[in-house]
Amino acid sequence: MKNFVQSDLLQSLPKQFFASLVEKVGRVIAQGHDVINLGQGNPDQPTPAHIVEALQKAAANPRYHKYSPFRGYHFLKEAVATFYEREYNVKLDPEKEVAILFGGKAGLVEISQCLVNPGDVVLVPDPGYPDYWSGIALARAKMEMMPLREENNFLPDYNELSPEAIEQAKLMFLNYPNNPTGAVATKQFFAETVSFAAKNDICVVHDFAYGAIGFDGKKPLSFLQIDGAKEVGIEIYTFSKTYNMAGWRVGFAVGNESVIEALNLLQDHLYVSIFGAIQEAAAHALLAPQDCVNELVQLYESRRNVFIRALKDIGWDVTAPAGSFFAWLPVPNGFTSETFSDLLLEKAHVVVAPGIGFGEYGEGYVRAGLLTSEERLQEAANRIAKLNLFHAKV
């Protein structure tokens, strides 16, 4: 069979760092070990029943068996506007300031192709979610990393960027609550971001994937709550985490009208919109009582408390995340994030994601997901304790 050569563009895409981790984990499971996998970001709870029922009912409606409107049903965009006004007191024009997406990832990858030309610079948080890199590579643009340092609460410091990078930058990605660090943004930081972006003509894309997941009674801020934010950017939201709908592939972008138009235009060329029944169920998710969301946040918070307490009890000096469903844990002396992750996998059968997979500034940390029961999280800590890497305080 003839082996067709991949295009230069395809070959230039960043390598999937976590593919090798998945392979290593598979090997340990195949040996018959009971592996506790905290390495992934796949929500473990089912979609709330009322949303599934809305889909089941809508799936039988012949209206949805035809092509959906290209840019999505108006009722979903209306529901998004109602949701943003109710949750964040942000007013949106449903037709001009909302774009329906096949999940957050689609919008995050598409946006670079919408706004940047080959050779332009895109500012990217480091550590950060690797899908930003893919879109930038597809647009043949250049990445400029913005270090997220613990001493700065994992917020970028715009004063650290070179004048050349700022001059060439067209786009910037931010993500709070943050994957992988679990940090949240402050109003002051977002306000600084609006001024910086306005001054330097940079479009801000705030990835609000973990928007619903803030702990200790603190609701994470939407970027659009900041004065002037709509002038300089958009926010990307997904149903994957808020409503445990990762498999459904539905999300949306909201904010700056010209950017929303660019996303819609690119999508006109790429797809017809999502199955109408999914859109109806998604609208239902946004408009129905939000008890399921509150319960989910409580579940994650309780798991966080158990896990962080258990790690502190074994002598590991860790900080509790303020949001998201990840804990960002410092690697003990003498290890890299990769050698430490390998050790946990081989000797404790616990999987964590090495920080280096999220960028250079992720080195020195591993990411653990709170996506399993409290018992399993406690068991993971017990197994790690047996490695005698830490000294429990008495």
Ligand X SMILES: Cc1ncc(COP(=O)(O)O)c(C=O)c1O
Which residues are at the interface with ligand X (CB under 6 A)? 41, 103-105, 108, 129, 175, 179, 207, 209, 238, 240, 246, 251
Kindly state the smallest distance separating residue 324's Cβ from ligand X, in Å: 8
Judged by beta carbon, residue 175 or residue 264, the one nearer ligand X is: 175
Kindly state the smallest distance separating residue 67's Cβ from ligand X, in Å: 23
| Number of other residues whose CB lies within 10 A of the CB of residue 334 | 8
Judged by beta carbon, residue 244 or residue 256, the one nearer ligand X is: 244
Kindly state the smallest distance separating residue 217's Cβ from ligand X, in Å: 23
Q: How far apart are CA 286 and CA 265, in angstroms?
A: 25
- Nearest Cα residue to 64 out of 240, 273, 283, 248: 273
Kindly state the smallest distance separating residue 358's Cβ from ligand X, in Å: 10
DSSP characters over 112-127 = HHHH--TT-EEEEEES
Judged by beta carbon, residue 211 or residue 349, the one nearer ligand X is: 211
H-state helical runs in the chain: 8-11, 17-30, 49-59, 74-88, 103-115, 131-138, 163-168, 187-200, 229-232, 239-242, 257-270, 276-287, 291-313, 337-343, 374-385
Judged by beta carbon, residue 178 or residue 290, the one nearer ligand X is: 178
Judged by beta carbon, residue 209 or residue 260, the one nearer ligand X is: 209
Kindly state the smallest distance separating residue 13's Cβ from ligand X, in Å: 17
Judged by beta carbon, residue 207 or residue 280, the one nearer ligand X is: 207
Kindly state the smallest distance separating residue 100's Cβ from ligand X, in Å: 12
Q: How far apart are CA 9 and CA 307, in angstroms?
A: 42
Judged by beta carbon, residue 103 or residue 355, the one nearer ligand X is: 103
What b/e string do you get for 245-263 counting C-beta neighbours within 10 Å, with b at 16 or more? bbebbbbbbbbbeebbebb
| Number of other residues whose CB lies within 10 A of the CB of residue 33 | 14
Mutual angle of helices 276-287 and 49-59, in 10-degree steps: 150
Judged by beta carbon, residue 108 or residue 203, the one nearer ligand X is: 108
Kindly state the smallest distance separating residue 241's Cβ from ligand X, in Å: 7
Kindly state the smallest distance separating residue 196's Cβ from ligand X, in Å: 21
The gap between the terminal CA atoms of the chain, to the nearest Å, is 66
Handedness of CA 8, 14, 19, 20 (dihedral sign): positive
- The encoded tokens of residue 113 equal 């192709």
